[in-house]
Amino acid sequence: MSTEATAAAIGDKIRCDACPVMCYIKPGAAGACDRYANHDGQLVRVDPHIVLERTVERGGRLVPFQAGGDWDGKIVQQPDIFVTAIGAGTTYPDYKPAPFIVSSEIDGVDMVTVVTEGIFSYCGVKVKIDTDRYLGPETAAVRAEGETVGHVTTSEYGSQMLSLGGVHHLTGGSKKEGRVTCDTLMDLSNGKPVELTIDGGATVVVQAGKAPIVNGVPEERMRVGCGSATIGMFAKQWHGKVDEVVVVDDHITGVLSEHQAGKLLDIADTGIKMKGRRSTPGRYFQVAEPGTGWGGTKISDPLSVLGPFDRKEARPGLTMLMVSTTGEHSAYYVLDEALRPIEKEMPLDLKLSVERIQENCEPALCTVLFMGGAGGSLRAGVTDNPVRLTRSVKDALTRVTSGGAPVYVWPGGGITFMVDVTQMPAGAFGYVPTPALVAPIEFTMRLADYAALGGHMDYVRPLSSLRDSAEVRQMPYMPGRRA
Amino acid sequence: MKRLPQIALLPGGKRLHLQDGPIDLIVEASGSDVREAYEAAAQRFTGLLDELCEELVELRKAADAAQCKLKGVVARRMHAAVAPFAADGFITPMAAVAGSVAEEILGAMLAAPWLDRAYVNNGGDIALHLAYGEQFTVGLMDRPDSHGLMHTMVVSADDPIRGIATSGRHGRSFSLGIADAVTVLAKTASQADAAATIVANAVDLPGHPAIVRLPANELQPDSDLGARLVTREVGALSESEIEQALGAGADCARRLLAAGLIEGAALRLAGETLLVGARRTGSRARHEHPLEVMQV
């Protein structure tokens, strides 16, 4: 971000000349105004007012803060503007906690947003890492800075799953374990990269909305499907161009000539011999140990999953494509007189089929869902009778959001919710030394419903009183993108 | 490049926003001369920061109770506000900067003769004006995630209170104490500001292992507090420790009350609130929680 002010560097400090106070600012700190900060040696503006001002300067449209009208009760509503709880624990301007507020208007309120920053001792993140590479055995400990912060949980399609945090690691272990867990959760939730090591597995750098980096190598794509599915999807395109195709995959390796899809195309037997355990024709489990090589196995030479070709069926000159389920690895072989596969330059139309596999693989991402439970004390901040708030959420009278982002409220008791952290504004999460995470949570309901559930009616403030007093920013619903 | 303060009416057209460097004011007035008052505020505000910065080096030095070398009217007000505390320990005029600026702007606005009510809010340090028969309702807001409790107080024209200020360890300025917030009511905003700093510093548990303190100048190289240890983090405290720390702050507040330096104070630490010399409560339909019960 460019700034009007300039800065002179003094050691690692910079001196800001935006105003005559001429603050010396250390890296990562802000000046006396909280408007200019030292970001990696660069002076940057950090205040929201200027963003608004620039919008006006550039002729941009401002959306009025007032959402307008009564909520129609629909669960899926996409308000233009929404009051979020971020920073609700402090008051404007954020410099000082100012519990005294001058207030004389409490009339004309239609809608209530109870804005709070909840302290979540019971919270964690579920991390989905789009990769077939082996990250570690299920239930293995996941560590940050050597401390256990969670574990590997059951994998999902094309993805490895981690479950991190939770009250056990936050407050049940050593002090350091709690602190590191809290830092890990906060960094992941705030969209920062975190390096995690898995016992008996890989080291992976995880960042919400970014590709995972497994053992130092950035992952590019998710697999298109398992090896068998890949055979099914591409059999027709290979038919007539190559005699045999092996799609190497950690889960199920597929063999074209034996696979049902090959049979339907009358593809002849090739005398291929696969290692591993045959599941059904053309589908093999465990052709190799899991790892970070071909198709999520540990192999770097694909021929190591093959035994010798059967002399009765194989013939010299037979052609074979070997490819991984992401298309990242591929090789082309022709059998010699001794029926040994010899690697050759891949024909163009087969190269195109490999590119097609790549094209059909979605970009590999890390996604982070924050999950927390709104406990008794937090609900008491909203209403006299906490359980009524829970019921009202269950009855869909009250909409729950986190930093303005939609949440999934888990059925059953309490208010346990999940939210995609990439939909929340940057820096939405904080912590308290308990340790526990501080996350924004908003409950939106009709004013009459709020009164009925025992709301703190005498503290209801009109939206207009917040208009300029809080950091006002638009929160469009754009899944997968940080607001 | 010529630097000019930001001066604008906030949406709604009722409140004025003045910002220059670290000074950020929200101003509201009612009465028949609001426009004139706002113009006076804007005029006085322009150049005010430069005026202060001319004497910034001196303002960052420990105040001398006996004499004042400062020249500017705001700088001298800052000194006057901290002078009663200078004999007892280290304090710089900067402890009263926010309240003194608020007071100065309010003073300029009062050149307009017909104002019913006005306030200048400088990041929580507030200067008030009340014409005869007018009043402000002031609310003390607890953290919404604790109990949703809120004390309200009515400040009337016939009360001596014209200044409200808050200090604590979460603030932009550093605190030597551990209070989450100490809010002080006083005759002027500059007095309230200085006293809030003193009382917040007194809410403390010296030597407690759960309190992390760092030299102020390691955090902000040009802090007026130099290498003095400021509170960065407060770990878990027992109920008796919270009581002890609040008690130390309350003792200090009572001394200031007896000396006529403040009119009242609210001290908050780890969810507990202690009121000193607090006055009447506003009407409370729900959560009736008489302040008298908590009075010390």
State yes or no: pLDDT of B108 exceeds 80.
Answer: yes
Q: What backbone torsions phi and psi does residue A177 show, to the nearest 5 degrees? A: -60, -45
Task: Tell me what pLDDT residue B135 has.
Answer: 85
Report the share of chain A in percent with pLDDT over 70. 71
Residues A92-102, mean pLDDT to the nearest whole number: 29
- What percentage of chain A exceeds 90 in pLDDT? 35
- Collect all residues of chain B within an 8 Å Cβ-Cβ radius of residue A469: 26
Q: What integer is the mean pLDDT of A339-360?
A: 93
Least CB-CB distance to B148: which of A102, A117, A380? A380
Q: Say if residue A197's pLDDT is above 50.
A: yes
Q: Do A101 and B138 touch (CB under 8 A)?
A: yes
Percentage, residues of chain B above pLDDT 90: 42
B144–A98: do the CB atoms touch at under 8 Å? no
Q: What is the pLDDT of residue A66?
A: 29
**pLDDT confidence of residue A297:** 87
If you average pLDDT over residues A70-97, what whole number do you get? 34
Contacts of B164 in chain A (CB under 8 A): 100
pLDDT digits (tens, 9 = 90+) for A298-320: 889 999 999 999 999 999 999 99
> Rounded to an integer, what distance in angstroms lies between the CA atom of residue A168 and that of residue A158?
29
Last residue of a domain, one of B131, B152, B184: B131
Q: Tell me the helix, strand and coil percentages in chain B, rounded to 5.
A: 30, 25, 40
B159 and B283 belong to one structural domain: yes
Task: Fill in the amino acid letter for B197.
Answer: T
**Residue that is last in its domain, among B106, B131, B156:** B131
Angstroms from A81 CA to nearest CA on chain B: 16
Domain encompassing residue B199: 135-296
* Per-residue pLDDT at B255 exceeds 50: yes
Q: What is the DSSP letter of B266?
A: E
Q: B181-186 and B135-141 as β-strands: parallel, antiparallel, unpaired?
A: unpaired
CB contact under 8 A, A104 and B137: yes
Alpha-carbon dihedral sign for residues A288, A292, A295, A299: negative
Residue B222 to residue A118, Cβ atoms within 8 A? no
CA-CA distance, A46 to A37, in Å (whole number)?
Answer: 7
Contact A99 B268 (CB under 8 A): yes
CB proximity B294 to A under 8 Å: no
pLDDT of A271 strictly over 90? yes
Decide if B145 and A456 are in contact by the 8 Å CB cutoff: no
SS3 call for A333: strand
> Using CA atoms, how far apart are residues A115 and A117, in angstroms rounded to an integer?
7
d(CA A376, CA A48): 33
Question: What integer pLDDT is reported at residue A335 of this predicted model?
Answer: 95
In this prediction, residue A68 carries a pLDDT of: 37
Mutate: best of B26, B145, B233, partner A, most A CBs <10 A: B145
Which residues on A lie below 8 Å from B143 (Cβ)?
89, 381
For residue A258, list its beta bridge partners. Answer: none
Query: Parallel, antiparallel, or unpaired: how do β-strands B15-20 and B6-9 relate?
Result: antiparallel
Instruction: Determine, for residues A119 and B266 on separate chains, whether the beta-carbon distance falls below 8 Å.
Output: no
The residue whose two tokens read 């945090």 is A165
Residue pair A126/A418 in contact by the 8 Å Cβ criterion: yes
Which contacts qualify for A63-69: CB closer than 8 Å, 24 or more apart?
A: A63/A474, A65/A463, A65/A466, A65/A467, A65/A472, A65/B11, A66/A463, A66/A464, A66/A467, A67/A111, A67/A463, A69/A110
Show Cβ contacts of residue A270 under 8 Å, excluding neighbours closer than 6 positions: A243, A244, A257, A309, A313, A314, A318, A320
Instruction: State how many domains chain B has.
Output: 2
Task: Give dist(CA A446, CA A442) in Å, integer.
Answer: 13
Average pLDDT over residues A388-392: 73
Residue A435 domain-assigned?
no
Q: Which residue of A has its CA nearest to B135?
A: A104
Distances (CA, A) of A258 to A177, A254, A443, B86: 52, 9, 57, 92
For residues A136-163, average pLDDT = 94
Beta-carbon separation of B221 and A90 below 8 A = no
Which amino acid belongs to residue B205?
A: L
Q: Are strands A415-420 and A408-409 parallel, antiparallel or unpaired?
A: antiparallel
Average pLDDT score over residue span A69-80? 34
Cα first-last separation, chain B: 54
Peptide linkage before A435 cis (omega within 30 of 0): yes
Determine the distance in angstroms separating the CA of B64 from the nearest CA of chain A, rounded to an integer: 23
Give me the domain span that covers residue A34: 7-46
CB within 8 Å: A97 and B222: no
> Both tokens of residue A18?
């935006």
pLDDT digits (tens, 9 = 90+) for B158-205: 889 999 888 887 766 788 999 888 889 999 999 999 999 999 999 999
Sign of the dihedral through C-alpha B279, B280, B281, B282 = negative
Min distance B259 CA to chain A CA atoms (Å): 24
Handedness of CA A153, A154, A155, A156 (dihedral sign): negative
Judge contact between A33 and B22, C-beta under 8 A.
yes
Q: How confident is the model at residue A11 (pLDDT cuts 50, 70, 90)?
A: confident
pLDDT band at A459 (very low <50, low <70, confident <90, very high): low
CB contact under 8 A, B137 and A91: no
At B206 the pLDDT is 92
Beta-sheet strands, E only, within A265-412: 277-280, 283-285, 319-324, 330-335, 341-344, 366-374, 399-402, 405-406, 408-409
Among A343, A359, A375, identify where a domain stops.
A359
Would the pTM count as exceeding 0.95? no
Q: Are the C-beta atoms of residues A10 and B40 closer than 8 Å to each other? A: no
Task: Give the largest CA-CA distance in chain A.
Answer: 95
On whether residue A323 sits in a domain, the answer given is yes
* ipTM here: 0.79
Nearest beta carbon to residue B164 from set A26, A88, A100: A100
Across A139-153, A231-245, B230-244, least confident range: B230-244
Count of domains forming chain A? 2
Query: Residue A475 has what pLDDT?
Result: 41
Same domain, B119 and B181: no
Top-confidence residue, A92 or A315: A315
Report which secondary-structure segment, H or E, holds B176.
none
Q: Please state the rounded mean pLDDT for residues B70-86.
A: 94
Residues B109, B7 share a domain: yes
Give the integer Cα–Cα distance in Å for A310 and A244.
Answer: 14
Instruction: Tell me the C-alpha to C-alpha distance, in Å, between residue B166 and each of A64, A83, A142, A206, B154.
Output: 31, 25, 44, 41, 17
* B17 contacts chain A (CB < 8 A): yes
For residue B295, how far is the Cα from the chain centroid?
A: 21
Domain boundary among A336, A359, A382: A359
Residue of chain A minimizing CA distance to B20: A19
Dist. CA B58–CA B56, nearest whole Å: 5
Contact between B130 and B29 under an 8 Å Cβ cutoff? The reply is no
What is the 8-class DSSP label of residue A461? -
Q: Does B6 touch chain A (CB under 8 A)?
A: yes
CA dist B248 and B171 (Å) reads: 20
Q: Same domain for B176 and B278? A: yes
Chain A: residue nearest B175 by CA? A96
Q: B276 and B225 in one domain? A: yes
Q: Could you tell me the pLDDT band of residue A457, with boundaries at 50, 70 and 90?
A: low
Interchain contact, A117 vs B11, CB within 8 Å: no
Average pLDDT over residues A171-196: 90
- Write out residues 241-260 of B within 8 Å (CB-CB) of A: none
Bridge pairing between strands A244-248 and A319-324 = parallel
H-type alpha helices, A267-323: none
* B157 and B288 fall within a common domain: yes
Q: Please give the pLDDT value at position A23.
A: 87
Distance, in angstroms, between B164 CA and closest chain A CA?
8
Contact B25, B101 (CB under 8 A): yes
* B264-269 vs B272-276, strand pairing mode: antiparallel
Residues B294 and B148 placed together within one structural domain of the fold: yes
Q: Mark which of B115, B131, B147 sits at the end of a domain.
A: B131
Shortest Cα–Cα distance, A477 to chain B (Å):
25
- Please give the pLDDT value at position B151: 60
* Yes or no, beta carbons of B138 and A24 under 8 Å apart: no
Q: How far is B227 from chain A (nearest CA, A)?
A: 15
Closest CA to A406 of A82, A129, A106: A82
Taking contacts as CB-CB distances below 8 angstroms, the residues of chain A near B24 are 33, 93, 95
Q: Is B143 on the interface with A (CB under 8 A)?
A: yes
Contact assessment for residue A304 and residue A246, using Cβ atoms and an 8 Å cutoff: no
Question: Contact at 8 Å (CB) between A93 and B24?
Answer: yes
Q: Are residues B126 and B234 both part of a single domain? A: no
Contacts of B222 in chain A (CB under 8 A): 23-24
Is the dihedral angle over the CA atoms B202, B205, B209, B211 positive or is it negative? Answer: negative
B271 touches chain A (CB under 8 A): no
Residues B176 and B125 in one domain: no
Question: What pLDDT does residue B224 have?
Answer: 87
Nearest to B22 among A33, A433, A458 (CB): A33
Task: Report whether pLDDT(B283) > 60.
Answer: no
Q: Which residues from A are below 8 Å from B170, CB to CB?
A: 90, 96-97
Is there a single domain that holds both residue B192 and residue B212? yes
From chain A, the residues in CB contact with B6 under 8 A are 49
**Residues of B whose CB is below 8 A from A18:** 3, 21
Mean pLDDT of chain A: 76
pLDDT attached to residue A53: 44
